[in-house]
Every structure is written in structure tokens, then in C-alpha cells.
Structure 1
Amino acid sequence: MTAEYLPDLFDNVSRRGRRRAAVVDPSGYKIVSVRLRLAEFESFSEQSQAAGLTNNMALRIAARRIAGFLEIDAETRQNLQRITDSIGQIAEALIDMRRFASRDDTVDMVRFERHRQQFGQEFAALDALLRTMLNVSRRRQDGRRLLQGSVR
């Protein structure tokens, strides 16, 4: 972009506090930039790499978390997978029980009750995890606290 086009970018921005307009990517993303001192950048970059993230992804996670968007950590993802697997196994066991019951015309009520209790426990764990993850208000408050804590 040549200097002659620059004034057009700033037509709607006051001279005082002039800032670059956010660039819109063709795929619908807005591109923002962050100015960091060298020491800040190096520390940030080291922390990002230690977490297995690119600088871009680390900044994106921080911005999304501050805005209240859902970010799922590895432990939560593993817990969701464990619960889902367990519920799937319970469902398979109940299908087997149904097949045996229709063949033998009997129901193993002890086994049925055990699976019912397991299902109840797993469903309660899933419900609690989802409520925590999906609580938008809490996520936004947590994000605001991150911002407020950084300016004190």
C-alpha cells in the first residue's frame, strides 16, 4: 500500500488518537495487532511455545476468553471423552440386556439397576461439566477480571 492511499483509511477517524482501522480478512476474520516491548514479546512467546501454542493462537485464546467465548482445555476435553465413552458403554450393555430379555423372556434387574445407577452418575457428571463450560455469564466475568487485574 502506498502512502497516497493512507489518508483514505483514516477519513472517519479523528486526528487525535488516530488508529489503524481493523483489517477484515476475506474469510470473515478481523485482524488486530498488539504492540509489545521486546522483553514482553519474548516472555509471551516462550510461554506460548511451552503450552504448545503459536503466538497467534495464544492471543486468540486470550481474546476469546476475555470476550466470554468457550475455550476447552485438555483436561476438560479428556473428561468429556471419558464420560461420553462411559455413556456409550452403558448404552451398549442396555442393548445387550434388551436382546437377552427378549430372547429369554427375563430381565436381570440387578444388572439393570447397576447400569441405571452408572448412567445417572455419568449423566450428572456430564451435566455439571457442561453447566460450568457453558456458563457464558461466568466466562465473561472471568474475562473481565483478567482485564481488570492486569491494569491494577
Structure 2
Amino acid sequence: MESRPESPRPQGAPRWVAMFYRPAAGSWRTAAQSPHRSPVLYALGEMTRTVRARGDEVTVALWGPKDGAWHRYDTPQHRTAVSQPDPEPAPGQPTGLAERMTGRRHQVLMAGLTQAGLHDLSPEDDTTVRALVERLDEAAVRRVAHWLATAGAAR
């Protein structure tokens, strides 16, 4: 098993900072920072999915304030397979507005999972999210995302 490179502590006053390791350069890069945790966690999840969609491995570090000082928080270390895009819809499958609404429900649910601190989803998690998106209407998906965001803020 390859070892995870150690992330340097960010400069300046403690705030929420997401850092990504760049293997080609052998260095860490600040990817997102904010005085609030939620936007950094959201950015961390979105960037992780983007990098994995390109087929690359991701190593991240999450730093934040704790008792007035810097603290490195745990981030998922396991690697997961990148989910494959759905094939083109078969004739008779919904397109247009129905497809956009499904995509919107998926995005809302993924944002809720990210705010709950779940950044590294497995293929089984992705399958479950797709099943929820297909079965729930937009109001129900927004409610579930709200519950997840609230649970993430309580951590």
C-alpha cells in the first residue's frame, strides 16, 4: 500500500482549507478556503469527483480551526472506482425536461452528501443515489439533502 504524503499546515490564521496533492509536481495546492466549513466541504467533494472522473487518483487534506489553532481533520483515504456515465437513452426514454429534472435531483442529493462529509462515494453509493433520484420527487430529495446538511453541520 502506498503511503499518503504529509500535507503541510496552511499559512495564516486558522480557517477551513482543503488541499490537494499533485503527484506530478510532488506538492500540495490549496484548493478551497473559507471561514466556514460547508463551502470548503462542498468544494472538496466537487473537486474530488471531477479529478476522479478524469481517471486520476485523489489525495486530499482538510484543515480547520480547533480551539483557536490549526487541526488536520480526517478525510477518506480509500480509493473507489469512478462510476461510468450512463449510456445514451434508448428510444422512448425520457429526455429534455425530465432528464434535466433528474439531473437536478441528483445534484441536490450529491450536495447534501458532501455537506454531510461524505466525499468518497463507492459504486454502491452511486447506485443508491441514482435509485433515490428516480423514486423521489424534487421536494423529497431537497428534504433528504437538508437532513444530510444538518447532520454534517452538527459534526
Q: Which bracket does the TM-score occupy, shorter chain normalised?
A: under 0.3
The structure where helix makes up a greater share of residues is 1
**Higher relative contact order at CA 8 Å, sep ≥6: structure 1 or structure 2?**
1
TM-score, normalised to structure 1's length? Answer: 0.26
TM-score, normalised to structure 2's length? Answer: 0.25
The structure where strand makes up a greater share of residues is 2
Compare CA radii of gyration and give the structure with the larger one: 1
